[in-house]
Chain A
Amino acid sequence: MKIIVCIKSCPETAESDIKLTPDKKDIIREKLVYTINEADNYALETALVFKEKYGGEITLITFGDKKSDEILRMGFAKGADYGIRIEEEKEIKDPLLIAQILASVIKNLSFDLILTGVTSSDNNYGITNIALARYLNLPFTTLVKKVEKEDNFLLIERELEGGLIEKRKIKLPSLLTIQTGIYPLRYASILAIKRATSKEIKLIKLSELNWEMKENISLKEYFIPKSERETVFIKGSEDEITDNLIKILKEKGIL
């Protein structure tokens, strides 16, 4: 089976202190750590499981700057075979345009399945993946939590609201967006990481591709969201904090 996995390098922001640049057009990125987008990591994991079960090869594709080579190399270390980076010569905000760029590269490759994450942890649009499927005229399924191959189709469980699961069958070739938690993630060995540093990454320049659509989306500015509540912060030493906490719980009739 030939599998393409579309991955993206994102800054880790869930546990980091985020501040805006003075012009409010970006976040301050200097101190942030970049890793593979969380959901894409599960897409990669799904590809690795498929390769183990059914054989074949995995090609990773990313659209990004030099930093993104790191996530390709991490993918190599885990077992991916090829890596392509489309050079992000200028920042593109419109996910439909990014999908077109990816499609213009992927349409020249041979594949049975494309996997991506459900959404990205930075912009959280959840558009690029399904738009890519449509530009390539492929059937698609989102929010995949379980997948098995049977002949030329896949049996899928996808996650809907409130813990509801939909089971469906989809023909190959197709595109799936993988939800986090589908499989436990593996870690690459130090030896494999070392070996991956010398592996070749195919670089494609944006200017070599034919794409015509103009960007429809622009960012006016970012702002830090206002608190919905007047949160009372409990401060002090550990002792004072826990005493206060107990006092509040007693007042509210919980203790």
Chain B
Amino acid sequence: MKEIIVFIEHRFSEILSNSYDALGFAYEWQKLYGGEISCLVLTSEGKKDIFNNLKDTVNKIYLLKNNLLENYHPELYLKALKDFLKEKNNYLFIFGQTGNTYELAPSLAVELSVPILTDINGIEKDNNQINFIRYFYGGKVSGKINIADFDKKPLILTIQTGSFKFEKKEINSEIMEKEISLDIEKNIEILEYKKEETGEVDITKADIVIGIGRGLRDKKNLPMVEELAKKLKGVLAGSRPAIDAGWLSKDRQIGSSGKTVKPKLYLALGISGAFQHIVGMKNSDLIIAINKDPNAPIFSVSHYGIVEDLIKVVPAFLKKL
């Protein structure tokens, strides 16, 4: 049976919510295949207390300590994880998908010669196989992926943000604390963290958010949506393509690498709805989407949908407001 090990990522003395997604997946796996769940925490002596919330939710907590591990460092983390896992035979090592696990998960898979799958949002038992489910083509298609000899060999997974629920369980956790050595030559130095500057409008505080995406097509169509935002007393925000195209500033980006909003109305204009965007808006009270593609994933989280080109609908709508 596989040992299920969940990587716990922390930043500024807090566990990232993505690690709870990974824990949620671990419980789901346990329901299907059994096995004990462990958490792995890399930390410094001074910071180890922040993991108290994990106590009594899993069978085992590995605390691997070194004063160099106070904050994330790709080379040191990789070395620590590799040394820890190479002693084990059959395991499932689970990361929540984050910017840092984009670095860690594939590099660890190479170091250990272990198969890897990223951004998993579902699993199902299928006779003697297991189907790992994830999105392809920006969320328009889902795929069931099989791994050769999945039960006999180790496997590394990353879990898509928000796709599994974590519920606290009452289990006595065994704590395994260990000081580890990290003697490597570093090629990377982490200098500092900074917050993206916030402009004059805080989109997370607005009751009405009008989100624009690729479907706006051209900067010349911006005044039309600005007028709509004004008339609805809302603020303009966007998906990544709208920010990359320079239509809106970075502080107005909604999604996993931007902001999360929960307004009374989210009006999605020409947004296809890649899951990186959807995680940032799907809990809005009312979601209305306008998109000319009837299969756009944005409709799957919308209360109301209009299959039309926003360039036609918005001016007609403005005339009646």
Distance (Å) between the CB of B131 and the closest chain A CB? 6
Residues of A within 8 A of B306 (CB): 233-234, 241, 245
Within 8 A of A (CB), among B287-321: 288, 293-295, 297, 299-308, 312-313, 316-317, 319-321
Distance (Å) between the CB of A126 and the closest chain B CB? 5
Give the most central of A180, A221, A239, A242: most B CB within 10 Å. A242
Knowing A127-B118, A184-B246, the reply to whether A163 touches B295 (Cβ < 8 A) is no
Q: Residues 220-231 of chain A: 1 if any B CB is under 8 Å from the residue's CB, otherwise 0? A: 111111111101
Knowing A163-B258, A231-B302, the reply to whether A224 touches B189 (Cβ < 8 A) is no
Knowing A18-B137, A222-B142, A232-B305, the reply to whether A127 touches B109 (Cβ < 8 A) is yes
Q: Does B136 contact A (CB under 8 A)?
A: yes
Within 8 A of B (CB), among A180-225: 180-181, 184, 214-225
Distance (Å) between the CB of B139 and the closest chain A CB? 7
Contact B288 A245 (CB under 8 A): yes
| Other-chain residue from A13, A158, A169 in contact with B189 (beta carbon distance below 8 A) | A169
Q: Does B259 contact A (CB under 8 A)?
A: yes
A77 to B223, CA, bound (A): 34
A128 to B118, CA, bound (A): 11
Knowing A131-B109, A161-B256, the reply to whether A254 touches B286 (Cβ < 8 A) is yes
Q: Does B34 contact A (CB under 8 A)?
A: no
A140 to B244, CA, bound (A): 23
A126 to B320, CA, bound (A): 45
Q: Does B16 contact A (CB under 8 A)?
A: yes
Contact B136 A216 (CB under 8 A): no
A-B CB pair tally, cutoff 8 Å:
264
Contact stretch, chosen from B25-33, B45-53, B96-104, B174-182: B96-104
Residues of B within 8 A of A232 (CB): 303-305
Say what secondary structure dominates the interface of chain A.
Answer: mixed
Contact B99 A158 (CB under 8 A): yes
| Other-chain residue from B98, B106, B244, B307 in contact with A130 (beta carbon distance below 8 A) | B106
Contact B141 A222 (CB under 8 A): yes
| Other-chain residue from B111, B148, B294 in contact with A134 (beta carbon distance below 8 A) | B111
A252 to B148, CA, bound (A): 51
Contact A163 B196 (CB under 8 A): yes
Within 8 A of A (CB), among B74-97: 74-75
Say what secondary structure dominates the interface of chain B.
Answer: mixed
| Other-chain residue from A158, A227, A231, A254 in contact with B304 (beta carbon distance below 8 A) | A231
Q: Does A46 contact B (CB under 8 A)?
A: no
Residues of B within 8 A of A141 (CB): 74, 103, 188
Q: Does A69 contact B (CB under 8 A)?
A: no
Q: Does B251 contact A (CB under 8 A)?
A: yes
Knowing A161-B98, A161-B257, A220-B145, the reply to whether A139 touches B188 (Cβ < 8 A) is yes
Q: Report 7 cross-chain contacts, Cβ distance below 8 Å, ordered by A residue.
A: A13-B140, A125-B119, A128-B106, A162-B259, A224-B141, A229-B300, A248-B288
Given contacts A126-B106, A161-B18, A218-B148, 18 further A-B contacts (CB under 8 A): A15-B293, A18-B137, A18-B295, A122-B137, A125-B118, A127-B109, A140-B103, A159-B99, A170-B188, A180-B240, A217-B146, A228-B301, A229-B300, A229-B302, A238-B313, A242-B319, A243-B320, A246-B321
Give 10 nearest A-B pairs by CB, closest first.
Answer: A181-B244, A163-B196, A139-B187, A134-B110, A216-B115, A130-B106, A227-B300, A160-B99, A220-B144, A167-B191
Question: Which residues does A use to contact B, with CB under 8 Å?
Answer: 11, 13-18, 20, 27, 94-96, 99, 118-119, 121-131, 133-135, 139-143, 158-171, 174, 177, 179-181, 184, 214-229, 231-235, 238-239, 241-243, 245-246, 248-249, 252, 254-255
